[in-house]
Structure 1
Amino acid sequence: MTEPTLRTSHLFTLRLTVDPNFIDVGETPYGRRRIASVTGGTFEGEELRGTVLPAPGGDWLLLRRDGILMLDVRITLKTDDDHLVYMSYRGMRHGPAFVMEQLNRGEPVDPAQYYFRTTPCFETSSEKYRFLNRIVAVATGRRDPTGPVYEVFQVL
């Protein structure tokens, strides 16, 4: 049996802006469903940087009955040299109830007090950035008062 080696390389820091006016679908059989529009953002790393296109982009959030927030995000990145990259990720955020209440009020919270992880996937037709089509990535997140921030890593 070959065990995986979990070495990573930092790809970029992603900062998103999100419209505070969520669409609240309400209680579904799976939990409380809300949909948030991603209105823009930036990303910056050694090999790629640019902006997040404002539309279409969104986060299909599900607050499960056990208090875990499930994320399903789809956005388009535009590099500073005009290449497009579709990025999607799923993940989760959870922690003690008082910490989640602070986050929901937009208060700053030390990210060590809660769990926020995602698994980004990339898709591009760009020759320059085609390496993104062939990698596995993971990200750690934090929820700043201005919006979510992710440190995105390539698994080597």
Structure 2
Amino acid sequence: MRSNDDIEPRFAFAFQVTAMVEQPIHIGHSGATELSFTPIVGGSVDGPRLQGTVLPGGGDWARLRRDHVFELDARYLIRAHDGAVIDIVNRGFWAGSPEVVAALDAGEDVSPDAYYFRTQPVFRTDAAVHAWLTRTVFFGVAYDELHEGHIRIKFYEVL
């Protein structure tokens, strides 16, 4: 009989979201952080567990802390290929050196190894066929591709 100490989490790729974004909107400073909003204007969802589109109208509220870490709080909608609507709240962190930030701001292509960009999504839907999303833990590995007008996130389900 195996003990609980022997159980190691596994994960599997579920799908990828490519979120089309507009330029961030500077909102202002609040104490020790700077707040901005990045509109999400569309995109695609593709993978073995889910396919569809990202609906326009969502966005990502980002707080830049004094330690140069962005706290991310994105919320947007996905329309699955079968027409079901899925709400996603995706929180996480982006951290990179000032040099990486400057390179990205200049529109340069930066290796994803140069920064940390991870998320923790939570999904909501009343579509029975997609209920698995609402009872599964996920993590996202994200990639800045702002020079191409989008952010790509690969979502993995924890098994």
TM-score (norm 1): 0.93
- The equivalent residue for 2:153 is 150
Between the aligned partners of 1:87 and 1:73, the Cα distance in structure 2 is 8
| Aligned CA-pair RMSD | 1.4
Match of 1:128 in 2: 129
Deviation at 1:103?
1.5
**What one-letter code is carried by the residue in structure 2 that aligns with 1:40?**
G
**TM-superposition CA deviations, 1:74-95 (whole Å, max 9, x none):** 0100011101110111101112
Question: 1:84-99, aligned counterparts within 5 Å?
Answer: 84-99=85-100
Residue type of the alignment partner of 2:109: P
In structure 2, the gaps of 5 or more residues are: none
Question: Percent identity between the aligned chains?
Answer: 31
Structure number with bigger Rg: 2
Q: What amino acid is the match of 2:81? A: D
Counterpart CA distance in 2 for 1:121 and 1:30 is 27
What residue in structure 2 maps to residue 15 of structure 1? 18
Cα displacement (A) at 1:140? 0.6
Structure with the higher helix share, 1 or 2:
2
Matching residue within 42, 66, 70 for 1:40: 42
| Aligned length, in residue pairs | 154
Unaligned runs of at least 5 residues, structure 1 = none
Give the TM-score normalised by structure 2.
0.92
Shift of 1:96: 1.7
Render the CA deviation track for 1:6-32: whole Å, top value 9, x for unaligned. 311111111111111x33121111411
Equivalent position amino acid for 1:32 in 2: E
In the alignment, the residues of structure 1 paired with residue 39 and residue 47 of structure 2 have an alpha-carbon distance, to the nearest angstrom, of: 24
List, as ranges, runs of 4+ consecutive aligned residues in structure 1 with deviation greater than 6 Å. Answer: none
2:139 is the alignment partner of 1:116: no
Q: Which amino acid aligns with 1:27?
A: H
